[in-house]
A = this chain, B = another copy of it.
Amino acid sequence: MSSFVREHWYVAAYQREIGRELFSRTICGEPILFWRTEAGGVAAMADRCVHRRFPLSQAPSQLVGDTVVCGYHGFTYGADGGCVSVPGQTRVPRTARLKSYPVVELDSFVWVWIGDPGSADPETVPRVPWLDQPGWTTVCGMEPLAARASLLVDNLLDLSHETYLHNGYIGTPEVASTPVTTKVDEQASIVYSSRHMPDADCPPFYAKSTGITGRITRWQDIEYHAPSLYLLHSRIAPVGVVPAPDGSDPDGFHVKVVYGITPETEHSTFDFWAVARDFAVDDTAVSDYLLQNNRTVVLQDVTALGVLETVIAAEPAGYQELSIDIDAGALAARRVLAKLGARKGQ
């Protein structure tokens, strides 16, 4: 039984990754071929020829105009996945059609809908406008993770690990010692988890990017849009600086940390990460620093979660974890995911 929540939007790629080359990515266990039409749209279809299952992304398969020609026997498909030509006969079988996937380009991502195409509503794509918006600058990347997606969800919903796994980068003692407040929007499948530290050490990640030298007020407000998008509203300010009554906050520094959590297989995940900021937006030295520093932090997670995946593979069935107060957000996320998973059968 698959553990994937298929009736959902997932980040398939950054928009810049898809061009006039055949591009393949397996999402929720389904190999998908992406390419841009001559008009500039994104086409997405099963990456397996209907004839003898040859991957259409595999050389010598090729893009010819707005068609893909299979490199094995020449079956040819249009942008909607329909077959337009087969070898040795003029009639194209009616059933010669690749599964086609709804896609939406938004906020620098290409989103794909894995489930029933008829259920795909572009209005329900989770939004992260800061990644592609004037007044903000973004650094981003994608790391392949050799672990199931739920381990990344656990990781991101419990930021107390910053103090230990990311010590010297983004962690300080206050992150682990400050309790969190957790709320769940059952209807929208969103988990909110907040940790407000009024007087905390400033980790290098923020000290070097903001220029703050003293102690800080640090807010971490998480929104996890299950199953596929994680958004951390991070606010940093010198101790005592608070937003104005009207909500404006000119002396605060704001960062949006975004993760697209895209299962590849039951045991591997695409970890799309992006960091947008509203300060030093034209400062390339700050961009370079945040790109390197955040990638290092992501790779620390990738290493740790890869270890956990191998641990799970070797352990006896029925192994029990122990949870404590800091796990409230992660446990809420698991409940929401379980509910989305159960909904599949309806």
Interface of A toward B, CB cutoff 8 Å: 29, 48, 50-55, 58, 60, 69-74, 86-89, 93, 95-96, 154, 158, 160-161, 163-165, 167, 176-180, 265, 304, 307-308, 311-312, 314-315, 319, 321-326
Q: Of all chain B residues, which has the CB nearest A62? A: B164
Q: Which of B53, B158, B178, B323 contacts A315 (CB 8 A)?
A: B53
Q: Which of B51, B304, B312 contacts A72 (CB 8 A)?
A: B304
Q: Of all chain B residues, which has the CB nearest A26? A: B314
List residues of chain B with CB within 8 A of the CB of A314. 29, 265
| Most-contacted residue by chain B among A29, A52, A86, A177 (CB, 10 A) | A52
Q: Of all chain B residues, which has the CB nearest A71? A: B164
Copies assembled: 3
List residues of chain B with CB within 8 A of the CB of A323. 51
Q: Of all chain B residues, which has the CB nearest A167? A: B60
Q: Are B51 and A88 in contact (CB under 8 A)?
A: no
List residues of chain B with CB within 8 A of the CB of A304. 54, 58, 71-72
The answer to whether A87 and B326 touch (CB under 8 A), given A53-B311, A311-B48, is yes
Nearest CB of chain B from residue A193's CB, rounded to whole Å: 12
Q: Which of B88, B163, B178, B322 contacts A160 (CB 8 A)?
A: B88
Give Cα distance in the complex from A93 to B163, angstroms.
21
Q: Of all chain B residues, which has the CB nearest A328? A: B88
The answer to whether A87 and B308 touch (CB under 8 A), given A53-B321, A321-B50, is no
